[in-house]
Amino acid sequence: MNKGAGLTKGKIRSKILLALKTQKEEDRSRKSRIIQRKLLRNKVFKKAKIVMFYVAFGGEVKTEEMIKEAKKMGKLICVPVCRRDREIMQPAVLEDHSRLKEGPYGVLEPASRALVDPDELDLIIVPGLAFDRKGNRLGRGKGCYDRFLGALSDNMPSIGLAFDFQILPLVPTANHDVTIKQVIFS
């Protein structure tokens, strides 16, 4: 593991989780709208037909409006569904935000599971607690996204969404951590 900015993954997680929890809702909404505008103008996003988003929770960048806009653009939207027993994540079609149920980690996921082959995805929108400019990402510690992204082609486009305080000079990494292609933040 590299040393990063001198902080351990655990310390970074604690600091960022606190910052997400204490961020004013008006700031979260304003920054999420700026990130949405940047995403909707992104070349890779515009070209993608099947996009896997995440359903925001715990103070993350809001994705609900992004998902609505992507659907208006004619994109098929998927979100992850998880199996706690094997900590496996699979993309499932998101028909309707009102038909979500709580998944094994407290994250909302589709009640009906129309699964999509991960290789059919054109783009994956990735959450994270911290990112650096090289595409290193620190998640919540379960490894679900790293396992999911690690099983896909290296050419699979991925975009992380973050607030400015989630962008660090260097994120500590381990061998199993998977980098993402780009990060959009505000």
pLDDT score recorded for residue 6: 66
Q: What amino acid is encoded at 55 in this protein?
A: V
> What are the residue ranges spanned by the domains of the chain?
9-185
Structure confidence by residue, pLDDT tens digits, 36-85: 999 999 999 999 999 999 999 999 999 999 999 999 999 999 999 987 66
Contact 159, 39 (CB under 8 A): yes
User: For each of the chain's 186 residues, which pLDDT tens digit applies?
Assistant: 444 446 899 999 999 999 999 999 999 999 999 999 999 999 999 999 999 999 999 999 999 999 999 999 999 999 999 876 666 899 999 987 667 888 877 788 888 778 999 999 999 999 999 999 999 999 998 888 999 999 999 999 999 999 999 999 999 999 889 999 999 999
Distance CA 118, CA 52 (A): 9
Q: Check: CATH 3.40.50.10420 for 9-185?
A: yes
pLDDT score recorded for residue 82: 84
pLDDT score recorded for residue 5: 46
DSSP designation for 86: T
Distance CA 62, CA 118 (A): 23
Going by their DSSP bridges, the two strands 50-52 and 123-126 should be labelled as: parallel
Coil, helix or strand for 71? helix
Express the helix, strand and coil content of the chain in percent, nearest 5 each.
Answer: 35, 25, 45
